[in-house]
Amino acid sequence: MDKFRMIFQFFQSNQESFMNGICGIMALASTQMYSAFDFNCPCLPQYNMAYGLGILLVPPFILFLLGFVLNNNISMLAEEWRRPQGQRGKDPAVLRYMFCSMAQRAMIAPAVWVSVTLLDGKCITCAFCTSVPVETFGNASHPHLSQGEIQRILARIPCKEIYNGQELIANEVAVRYLRCISQALGWCFVLLMTTLAFLVRSLRPCFSQVAFLKSRYWSHYIDVERKLFDETCAEHARSFAKVCIQQFFEGMSMDLAAGRCHLPRKASADMGEASKKLLGITDQGTMNTALKSWHRCKPPLHLHPLALPSGNGWAGEGQPPMHPSAPRRETAAYHSLV
């Protein structure tokens, strides 16, 4: 139980670990789905290929889209791509990094499905059973059989219980031939995916490590900024609701008791503390304006000291920025008792 708790805490440590855990669970789920799937080839010449290739390609496409849906960064990427320019520019490198990162994780489950399907061989056997070379493995000179009848017989190869073409070609021979081809394609696909992953992981630091670090940093910054903004809005909403509720009950108590009922001091203190968290935003219109301003013109990524208010406005208005003074040197003296 402690090991599962440690694994769960690791997945919750950051966004990437969480998404890696989700992708691993989806990969295992895709394997379990295929093992639980009841594969039934129609054994008809006009439907075998559509059914076999559909089982091979359609579920991976669904799993790929599901990987994007389960990724929390998809909404953040869409928001960053569609937001107005405002006071902060949009970096295409960061957007590309976010999209590529999501696409790589979303490809894990489809790759597992395709690999398992090809190594199992049922889909290829169903899709290409009519393409077995009868002249090589069977009796191509079988009398009284037209080309259409031969196709109908070959289409029943995946359905062993209704196959009636042992005189034309043995069922075991055709199935073993197609399964060997499917397994060869499966191992080639696994080798290709492994090689591509190795090249991406090993060659990336050799060419664009600096650009990769910058894109990764600002991608994490956008994620952290969004979380902090949501937390700040939630805290403001809680404080706003607390002040509204306290003002409502205070007004009701004054109306009912005609001014003879006094609220306890703790409620007033709590109300004052909640009012400080409102930061001057005390009505719905101002809050809507703040939210709209955050979306339209996010503040630039340049930290500067806040200007101090003066009697006629803001201190420092119309004046050149002052350079920070040199840090004061401090000397520490240590006394030994030895």
Q: What confidence tens digit (pLDDT) does each residue in 229-245 have?
A: 999 999 999 888 988 88
**Where in the sequence is the domain holding 241, given as residue range(s)?**
208-251
Is the domain of 65 the same as that of 193? Answer: yes
| Residue 227 within a domain | yes
- Centre a 10 Å sphere on the Cβ of residue 266 and count the other Cβ atoms it contains: 8
Q: 7-11, 251-255, 316-320: which range is least confident on average?
A: 316-320
Whether 290 contacts 240, CB under 8 Å: no
Does residue 318 surpass a pLDDT of 80?
no
Q: What is the pLDDT of residues 20-32, one digit of tens each?
A: 677 777 888 888 8
Does residue 336 surpass a pLDDT of 60?
no
Q: What is the pLDDT of residues 319-330, one digit of tens each?
A: 444 444 444 444
- The tally of domains found in the chain comes to 2
Is the domain of 25 the same as that of 171? Answer: yes
Is the domain of 85 the same as that of 36? Answer: yes
| Residue 304 within a domain | no
Q: What share of the chain is helix, strand, coil (3-state, %, to 5)?
A: 70, 0, 30
**Res. 143 pLDDT band, cuts 50 70 90:** low
CA distance 96 to 208: 14
**Res. 260 pLDDT band, cuts 50 70 90:** low
pLDDT at 188: 96
Is the domain of 131 the same as that of 166? Answer: yes
pLDDT at 335: 42
Is the domain of 236 the same as that of 125? Answer: no
Residues 301, 306, 311: CA angle, nearest 5 degrees: 145
The predicted model gives 187-193 an average pLDDT of 95
Distance of CA 283 to the CA centre of its chain: 36
Predicted TM-score (pTM) of the model is 0.71
Does residue 294 surpass a pLDDT of 80?
yes
Whether 151 contacts 130, CB under 8 Å: yes
